[in-house]
């Protein structure tokens, strides 16, 4: 089984992914980390040196490589499901889980995060709120295609594991 965690940056995909993989006895990968290791470049440097379009193409290619691995939990980037036909491919190849978190919680998490986020560099808290609210409106239609929608603010890993157990290897309930 392949489990894909989707949601906006700061929604807890990587943290949840590690915990969920441990609970289920699966391997865990973070798609951004996979890109950085494979191409020997950090995501912020990739954005600086090239652009978002170049990143999205590498992201699409790397995502497709995950379709060959079983018993894995994959934390995607916040925009991964929103480009090309990535969301449809995610759903065709595994169980997708949307970690839904409200804008104000996302801002708190992002401002306190250790990881540099290229899309929000240099934004004030007010600009950040406006940016995140706008982006969530655009991305929510993709995120809501997930097979499971979980409250990312009060996430219960045991509940999530039970939800996943309702799906077979093809992702059908």
- Give the containing element (helix H, strand E) for 109: helix 103-111
Is the pLDDT at 62 greater than 60? The verdict is yes
Give the predicted TM-score (pTM) of the model.
0.92
Q: What average pLDDT score do residues 57-71 get?
A: 97
Is the pLDDT at 68 greater than 50? The verdict is yes
- CA-to-CA distance for 108 and 170, rounded, in angstroms? 36
pLDDT in tens, 87-122: 999 999 999 999 999 988 998 888 887 677 776 777
**CATH number attached to the domain at 2-165:** 3.40.50.300
């Amino acid at each position: 089984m392949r489990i894909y965690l989707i949601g906006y940056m700061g929604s807890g995909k990587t943290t949840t992914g590690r915990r969920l993989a441990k609970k289920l006895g699966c391997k865990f990968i973070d798609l951004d980390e996979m890109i950085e290791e494979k191409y020997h470049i950090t995501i912020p440097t990739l954005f600086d040196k090239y652009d978002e379009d170049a990143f999205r193409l590498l992201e699409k290619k790397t995502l497709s490589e995950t379709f060959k691995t079983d018993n894995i939990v994959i934390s995607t980037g916040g925009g991964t499901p929103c480009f090309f036909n990535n969301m449809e491919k995610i759903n065709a190849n595994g169980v997708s889980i949307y970690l839904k978190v409200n804008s104000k919680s996302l801002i708190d998490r992002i401002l306190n995060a250790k990881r540099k986020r290229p899309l929000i560099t240099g934004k004030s808290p007010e600009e950040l709120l406006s940016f995140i609210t706008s982006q969530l409106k655009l991305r929510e239609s993709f995120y809501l295609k997930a097979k499971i929608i979980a409250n990312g603010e009060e996430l219960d890993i045991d509940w999530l594991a039970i939800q996943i157990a309702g799906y077979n290897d093809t992702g059908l309930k």
